[in-house]
Amino acid sequence: MAPYRFWSMLAVLLALAAINFLDLRQSEAAGPFYVIAGEAYLRECPGPDCSVVCRLYRSDQVEYLDTNGYGWWKVRALRNNAVGWMTADLLSAVTPTPPPSPPPYPGYYYINASRINLHTYPMYSSGVTGVVQLNERVEKLGDSPQGWAKVRSLRNGSEGWLLRGYLSLEPVSYPRRSYTTKKRSRPAAPTQKKEEESTPSTEKAKPM
């Protein structure tokens, strides 16, 4: 009886192990799965030294095909049907949360100086394409590394470059001083030169 009981218990344990294995495989194959890394490689075999089949990116979907039991899954990329191996820790059954987008940059501003020229390029030496005035509303179109902004006037549609410091999110009460304004010294009074007038001799020679 003892040998029979032993083999019966062994058969039951093997059956339970097989069921658990099948449940595990079914749960793994439930997919689809999503790439959670910013970039991942699909390889020809389960190893970091294997050749790369293709490159996958965050949120790419893959279908589970097999596992080697050591953390590598054989998958099929749904984007291009490429088949290869990748580590399971790079995959998730839940769609990855996209990284938070930066807050929207306001696109409309007010001019905070009395009168500013718009330039063809972000430099003072370039041509002038238009003029904007105090509290005029403009749309920002771009930036330059040198601190300039390209804007479009909502008044007349003229476009050009100006320094970003001339832009404010709200209208201003007083204009700011222009970056290019310099104190002008009061011109000196012109020197009055005395002209020496030669007085012609009007005396007539007395008759002898």
Residue 4 lies in a domain: no
Query: Average pLDDT for residues 89-96, to the nearest whole number?
Result: 84
Residue 83 lies in a domain: yes
Highest mean pLDDT among 100-104, 130-134, 181-185: 130-134
Q: Are residues 124 and 85 in the same domain?
A: no
Residue 48 lies in a domain: yes
Sheet strands (E) in 3-82: 33-35, 39-43, 52-57, 61-67, 72-77
CATH number at residue 125: 2.30.30.40
Q: Supply the pLDDT for residue 6.
A: 63
Whether residue 130 is predicted with pLDDT greater than 90 in this model: the reply is: yes
Mapped onto helix, strand or coil, the DSSP state of residue 68 is coil
Confidence of residue 136 (pLDDT cuts 50, 70, 90): very high
Residue 197 lies in a domain: no
Q: Supply the pLDDT for residue 32.
A: 86
Quick: pLDDT tens for 144-197.
Answer: 888 999 999 999 999 999 999 999 989 998 887 766 544 444 555 555 554 444
Q: Are residues 148 and 117 in the same domain?
A: yes
Q: Are residues 77 and 122 in the same domain?
A: no
Residue 86 lies in a domain: yes
Structure tokens, 178: 């222009």
Q: Supply the pLDDT for residue 182.
A: 46
Q: Are residues 119 and 74 in the same domain?
A: no
Q: Supply the pLDDT for residue 177.
A: 74
Q: 67 - beta bridge partners?
A: 73
Number of separate domains in the chain: 2
Find all residues with CB under 8 Å of 9, minimum gap 6, and list them: none
Residue 158 lies in a domain: yes
Domain, as residue range, for 50? 31-90
Whether this prediction's pTM lies above 0.75 is answered by no
Q: Are residues 113 and 85 in the same domain?
A: no
Quick: pLDDT tens for 18-36.
Answer: 444 444 454 455 668 999 9
Round to whole Å and give the CA distance between 110 and 137: 5
Residue 128 lies in a domain: yes
